[in-house]
Amino acid sequence: MLSIDQVSVSSKEKKIVNHVSLSIREGEWYALVGQSGSGKTLLSQAIGRMLPANLQVHGNIRFNEQDLMSLTAKEMRSLRGKKISYIFQDYQGSFTPFRTIGQHFDEYQKVHDISDASTRLNQAVEALHSVGLEESLLKRYPFQLSGGQLQRVSIATALLLSPDLIIADEITTALDSISGHKILELLARRQKESGFAILFITHDWRHVRRYANHLAVMKEGQIVEAGQKDQILSNPQHEYTKELIKAAPTLQRSVLNIRKGVTI
């Protein structure tokens, strides 16, 4: 579905992402793991061509056989949200305080040429229901919702037009552990129901262990190790991967279980 081949992101001063390659299949939960500043978010922004103007992208990015680097700005805007959706870490910053949730949905749908008002309303209600929220939230303002509710709304927005790929960038960082767990369980359930793929950007190995199929470890702009989740957790090859796993104490029992063949 998504193929990233030798992609680099650079400013005038330095190369920030350096010749990264990875591929994501349909319906896969692919984790991109690394510490802050490793280049994970910049790579995700390069996929949607949302990088700041001072950064340049080189390499090849293909999505469902389309060369994303060759699309016009208009074609790319049509693709974002419709086929490739984002859920951001700063979900609160995605909402204008003095517009209702319904107005946010409505504007998003109009950008993607959904002109019929009843269709837009039905889609919005269905999206809210799919994440366990009531239709009444359409009339409320972002500041009237809890953090967990707002993050659910951001997921509903990402799901609104039935995308093939969702890029989820550190989506639990601003939530408490219980809310974060509920959000990921919700996303996993919706993925199972709808079959979309997820590029899951995180530094939290607990979530990688629980949800990912495959993973790549990123350090200083480069992929240092990639492969099937259980294989990497049970037998990491790169020293950096070993250090990261060792620094996550809750992983140790899981790693032992994987080596013994116990399902986790």
Angle of CA points 163, 169, 175, to nearest 5°: 115
Per-residue pLDDT of the chain (264 residues; tens, 9 = 90+): 999 999 999 998 899 999 999 999 999 999 999 988 899 999 999 999 999 999 999 999 999 989 999 999 989 988 998 899 999 887 777 789 999 999 999 998 998 888 899 999 999 999 999 888 999 999 999 999 988 899 889 999 998 888 999 999 998 887 888 888 888 998 999 999 999 999 999 988 889 999 999 999 999 999 999 999 999 998 999 999 999 888 876 665 555 555 555 544
| Per-residue pLDDT, 264 | 45
Angstrom distances, CA of residue 94 to CA of 48, 89, 183, 259: 16, 10, 17, 42
Tokens of 228: 């099937």
- Nearest one of 169, 138, 144, 139 to 156, comparing CA atoms: 138
Question: Whole-structure pTM over 0.85, yes or no?
Answer: yes
* Domain boundaries of the chain, sorted by first residue: 2-260
CATH class for domain 2-260? alpha beta
